[in-house]
Each structure stands twice: as structure tokens, then as C-alpha cells.
Chains A and B, each alone.
Chain A
């Protein structure tokens, strides 16, 4: 379980995340929604120790993320942010194999290689495995990064906007895959999502933020209501029931 208590992030006088407390249960998908600048990504990077917090604590299975050695935490929790800049020229396989670094420290064993192959297969990247990252499309590269964090084989996996750069076919493919990872590999997945309909269809739990404050959390049915969405986005949106799923019609 990820336990967040009273975390706050402030830059000079601006408070980006304001005293958020939250418990993210084990297994399943939790989506964080909210408009731009609501503090979703900052929250995610504080949970994953990428950004130091101004106040508060985060524990993952009882381990305080700011005090636990980084390499211990790297076997429990992984994060994928948006747009990475990589200096070296890597093939997909090179990148995915880096996911084994917490275990092998750079000396890959046969076990590490088979894990990497599994992750490459899981993302359907076999044909691209020996291509260089800079020769791939944005969506293919995105899948390569996802393969890397899955290869890291942590119980908790955090994604910051994993659907960036993906067309609708690949976006649906990615969400199905994350659902599979949650159901079959028993992962706990936390996502920042912009498309609330994906959040509605694929998550077990939705967390809504606004202006750095956690304003609502609950099951998709509880969050996908006219009032809740108005509160989060300041927008009046028609919520329809389509084949048992709650879909927001917000395009017009």
C-alpha cells in the first residue's frame, strides 16, 4: 500500500500540492485526474522520490521514500515520466535491459535477459527490439519505455500520462495492457490521465485534484457524475451510461 500523509510542495510562495493525504490500495489501477497545473505530476514525482517534498511523508509498503536507500526502493516502485531526453544511442533491447539494473547492477544474468525478452514480448516489440530509439515513432518509443519499467518488475508502477503520443488504437492497447498487468501480474498501477473516459473505463479507483488539493476520490461511478466533474474541471459535461460504462461527452 502507498500511504501519503499531508504532503506539500511549495516553490517559494507558490504551493503546488497542498497537504494531500491518500491511501492507494494494493493491486489494481488508480487514476489521478485534474486540469493542467492541478499538481498531479508533482504528486506522482514526490511519491517516486524524483522531487523532494516540502512537508509530509510517503511510505510504500511501510518504507519511507525519502529515507529508504534508492536501490531498495527501485525494486518496489518504478515511475515513467513523459518525454525523456537520452544522451546515448540505445536500441530498444538496451533500454529494456536497463530495467534490470536494480537487480544486476549492469551485469546481466540469463534471468535478466529472459525478463527483458518477456517485457519486450508483453509490449509486442519483438520486431523492433534491435532498432535504435531515435529511429522509432513517438508511440513505439513510448511502448519501449513502458517495457523498461515493466522489466524492472516492481509491485508498484507509476505512469505520468502514458497515453501521450499514442493514437486511439495504441492508447486503447496501452490501457488494456496496463489492465492485464494489474490483473495477471498483480501490479499496483497509478496513472495520471487526461482523458477521463479512459480513467472511467479502466480504473478501479479515481483521485481528482484541483489547485494542488485532493478534492474527490472514489470508484469511477462515484467520480463520473455531472457534479463531480464540474467541481474538478469547471465544465458542465454530459455523463452518459453507454453499455454499463460511464462516458463523458465533452467534445462540444
Chain B
């Protein structure tokens, strides 16, 4: 069990896991951000007048939400290089962090699509009508009136999506990215004491997730001011 607690909990190892934690955090932030952009596009597609866009939006959401993220990461990890080789004839030197961010962004985008769509639907219909009578186009209505209000509604679920992404970033350890979980495995390997190393990783995950939830609550309160 904790055979070598004092050996594992050295400042050197803590620093090493800390770096891993920063990597996890960075990947989660980038994926959340890119996912939100994909979410706005996805939500627009699902709300589109054109059947083809709606179909694309639905397909995206259903496929991504209906399959495990681990599988998506593995597919991207193995399929992208083969496609590259098939087209160019060269071997692609793959950056596992980049693949990880792309896979997680696409995954998060599907969830954000649903969040943003429900946020947009949550804005009172009267807001659309008011904009219509003032002559605003539907794009202007979206940009200035509906999206700002929708985002306020979806801050809480976005925060929880962020927390999920931090935890799920551990999945990219399977393709060799050294983030928090992988870092703790490496430390565990060194000392043959996985329990202590994993416990340290858990502490880092909790520090991140609990502080984000806390900041999230503060932001929610600030946003509630104009209500």
C-alpha cells in the first residue's frame, strides 16, 4: 500500500505532478473554448431553416454523444496518421497533445451544442419579436440580444462541462500524453508505489475541480446582478 509515502511525496515529485496538472488544465481550457465555438456552430446548424444543416447538426451530436470519448481519442489517434499517409505518402509525426485537444474539443462541442441550444430556447420569444419590430436581422438578434442572455443561462452547465473535461483529459494518457494521470503513473512506476502516487494525483484533481466550482459560483452571482 503506502509503502513509501515519504519517498513519493517529495517536492520534486509534487512539482512533476503539478506540471502534469497544468497540462491537464491547459488541455481542458483549450478544449472547452474550441468546444464552445463548435457549440455555437452546432446550435446554429440545429436551429437552421435548412434541413441539410439540421441533419449535420443532429448527426454530429448523436454520434459524439453516443460513443465513448476514449474511442473517439483512439480513432483520431490511429485514423488521422493513416489518412495523412494515404494522401501525401509521408509518415506523419503525430503530436499526441494536439490529437488529444482536437478529440476533446470535438467531443465537448457536441455537449456545448446542446447546452447552447437549450440556452437559446430559454430566452423569451418576446425578445425575438421586439428585435423583429425594430428591424434587426436574425443574426443581429442572436448576437446582441439572444446569445448574451443565453450565455448567462448556461454558465452553470458550462462550468460543470469544464470540470468534466479536466477529469476526462486523463483519457489522453492512453495515447501517451503526459498529463496528470500519466505523470502519477510514471512516479508510481519509479517507486513501485502506485497508491501514494494516485493519491497525490487525486489531490491535484480535487484542487482544480473544487476551485473551478467555487469560481463558477462567484461568476454566477456576479451575472445575476442585472436580474
Partners in one complex: no
